[in-house]
Structure 1
Amino acid sequence: MSVKSSISLTDQQDAFARSLVESGRYSSMSSVLQQGLELLRQKTETETVETAALGELVQRRLNGPMISATEMESRVAAMIERKRRVVRVDS
């Protein structure tokens, strides 16, 4: 099913869409806009899935074991010291 719709484009958008039709890449302006909307729909769906996955990851991390800031500082200092020894960097 198709729905007719009136839209407004900037001069730059119109010129770009027309160049795609004139080059034979798309059969009509309608095809160009349909493809653009499909890509936007896919992008939006992907962002929704990624945001949900990130939210899940954050929640798992918040619900997981925690260490104190002092312990984290100690672990980071030990890691830096190990790396310095590996590359033999003077402190």
Structure 2
Amino acid sequence: MSVKSSISLTEQQDTFARSLVDNGRYSSLSSVLQQGLELLRQKTEAEAAETDALRDLIHRRLNGPTLSDDAMAGAVDNMIARKRRALRVES
């Protein structure tokens, strides 16, 4: 189903959109704008999903188990030592 809308574009936007049509990349100005809106919809949905995932991660981190400073320092030291051994790096 199509819905007719009246929109305003800047001169630069209109020139760019028309060049895409003139170069054969799109069949019409409507196609250019539809593609642009679809990309914006996808970007908006991806950002919302990322934000939700980050909120979930922060919530789990805040409510999950914690390590003392000494335990964390030991874990980091162990990780660095493992990486050095794996990469054969001298300290």
TM-score bin (small chain)? 0.7 to 0.9
| Structure 1 residues without counterparts, runs of 5 or longer | none
| TM-score, normalised by the number of residues in structure 1 | 0.79
SS in 2 for 1:2: coil
Residue 20 (structure 1) shift: 1.2
Matched letter for residue 42 of structure 2: Q
Q: Which residue of 2 aligns with 1:2?
A: 3
Residue 88 (structure 1) shift: 5.0
| TM-score, normalised by the number of residues in structure 2 | 0.79
Residue 21 (structure 1) shift: 0.7
| Structure 2 residues without counterparts, runs of 5 or longer | none
The answer to whether structure 1 residue 40 and structure 2 residue 10 are counterparts is no
Matched letter for residue 3 of structure 1: K
Q: Which residue of 2 aligns with 1:68?
A: 68
% identical aligned pairs: 58
Q: Which residue of 1 aligns with 2:52?
A: 52
**Greater than 4 Å deviation, 4+ residue runs:** none
- In 2: Cα distance, 1:45 partner to 1:83 partner: 37
